[in-house]
Amino acid sequence: MAETGKVMIVDDSVTVLDLAKAKLSAEGFRVVTTSNPSQAARLLAGCHLVLIDFHMPGTNGEEVCARLRKAVPEGESPLFFLYTTDAKASTNYLSRGFDGVFVLKGNADSLLRQVKAAMRLAAIRAVK
């Protein structure tokens, strides 16, 4: 299967990470996951898309997103998307530092559709 981009997912739920990785990997995406937000920066190189859960022990997605944006390797510009079921957090994702929000967390088919759409945006962004 052709490579379609690198996705990083940061979530404290191993179940969510395993489900997402299995679905996206089966479609040709390179997927890296971590349930430890403080270790996420080491996985960032080469990512096109970063999905971040909002509610995690000891931190939240907004803080993780801010740290990761500062750690982006020079010359790279991944998209950062909030990945949550929290409707309140998702309504003001832009003010929280995210480029967008993925809904229906835990639904693998929905995730795949949303990742494909975000990757199209990333490709357009890279051309500019």
Q: Where are the alpha helices (DSSP H) in the chain?
A: 14-26, 61-71, 87-91, 108-127
pLDDT in the model for residue 3: 58
- Rounded-to-integer distance, Cα 83 and Cα 50, Å: 9
pLDDT in the model for residue 1: 46
Q: What is the pTM for the complete model shown?
A: 0.94
pLDDT in tens, 26-49: 999 999 999 999 999 999 999 999
Q: Helix 108-127 and helix 14-26: axis angle, to 10°?
A: 60
- Rounded-to-integer distance, Cα 90 and Cα 87, Å: 5
Neighbours of 67 (CB within 10 A): 14
Pairing of strands 59-60, 30-34: unpaired
CATH 3.40.50.2300 fits 6-127, yes or no: yes
pLDDT in tens, 81-119: 999 988 888 888 999 999 999 989 999 999 999 999 999
Q: Which residues contact 70 (CB under 8 A, 6 or more apart)?
A: none
